[in-house]
C-alpha cells in the first residue's frame, strides 16, 4: 500500500496570503466605486445645468413676447420691478412679475430673475441649490431687438 503524504509546503494558501488578496480586491473595488460615484455626480450636475439653460431660454422667449406687447418698456429709464420674471396675466399677455416676492419666479428648485441693463440688454440669471449642497447659477445676457430692428 502506497500512502501519499503531502508536504507542509503544499497544504494551500496561508491566512496571510488570503488577507493580502482580500486587501487587493478591496482596493480595486473601492477605486471603481469612487470613479463611478464621481461620474454620477458629473452627470447630475450636467442635468441641473441643462435644466437651468432651458429655463433661461424660456425666459428669453417670454421676454421677447413681453417687449413686443410693450415696446415702450425698452425706453423706460428705471423700469419697475428691477428684478423680475415674465408671467401671463388673465388675458394671456406677458407681464413682469416681481422676483423679490417669494416663490413668484421659482419653478421647482430653480429661481429665475431678469435684470434690465443698458442698451436693451437683459441679464437672465437662474439660481438653484445643487445636489452637492452649494448654490449654483447660470447667467446669460440677451439683447432685445427694438421694433425698428425687427424686419
Q: What is the pLDDT of residues 91-108, one digit of tens each?
A: 888 888 988 887 889 988
Q: Does the pLDDT of residue 5 top 70, yes or no?
A: no
For the entire predicted model, the pTM comes to 0.73
Q: Does the pLDDT of residue 87 top 60, yes or no?
A: yes
What pLDDT score does 3 carry?
Answer: 55
- H-helix or E-strand containing 96? strand 94-98
Backbone angles phi, psi at 3, to 5 degrees: -110, 130
- Which neighbouring-strand residues pair with 4? none
Q: Does the pLDDT of residue 43 top 90, yes or no?
A: yes
Backbone angles phi, psi at 101, to 5 degrees: -75, 125
Confidence of residue 49 (pLDDT cuts 50, 70, 90): very high
CA distance 43 to 50: 10
Report the DSSP pairing between strands 83-88 and 121-129.
unpaired
CA distance 28 to 22: 10
Confidence of residue 142 (pLDDT cuts 50, 70, 90): very high
Confidence of residue 30 (pLDDT cuts 50, 70, 90): very high
Q: Report the Cα–Cα distance between both ends of the chain, in Å, rounded.
A: 108
Give percent above pLDDT 70 in the chain: 89
Confidence of residue 22 (pLDDT cuts 50, 70, 90): very high
Tell me the average pLDDT across 133-149: 86
Amino acid at each position: 500500500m502506497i500512502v501519499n503524504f503531502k508536504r507542509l509546503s503544499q497544504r494551500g494558501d496561508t491566512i496571510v496570503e488570503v488577507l493580502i488578496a482580500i486587501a487587493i480586491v478591496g482596493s480595486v473595488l473601492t477605486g471603481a466605486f469612487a470613479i463611478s460615484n464621481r461620474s454620477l455626480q458629473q452627470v447630475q450636475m450636467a442635468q441641473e445645468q441643462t435644466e437651468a439653460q432651458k429655463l433661461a431660454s424660456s425666459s428669453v422667449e417670454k421676454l421677447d413676447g413681453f417687449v413686443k406687447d410693450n415696446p415702450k418698456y425698452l425706453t423706460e429709464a428705471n423700469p419697475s420691478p428691477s428684478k423680475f420674471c415674465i408671467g401671463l396675466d388673465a388675458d394671456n399677455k406677458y407681464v413682469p412679475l416681481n422676483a423679490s416676492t417669494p416663490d413668484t419666479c421659482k419653478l421647482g428648485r430653480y429661481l429665475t430673475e431678469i435684470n434690465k441693463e443698458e442698451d436693451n440688454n437683459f441679464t437672465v440669471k437662474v439660481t438653484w441649490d445643487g445636489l452637492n449642497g452649494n448654490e449654483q447659477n447660470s447667467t446669460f445676457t440677451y439683447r432685445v431687438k427694438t421694433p425698428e430692428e425687427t424686419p
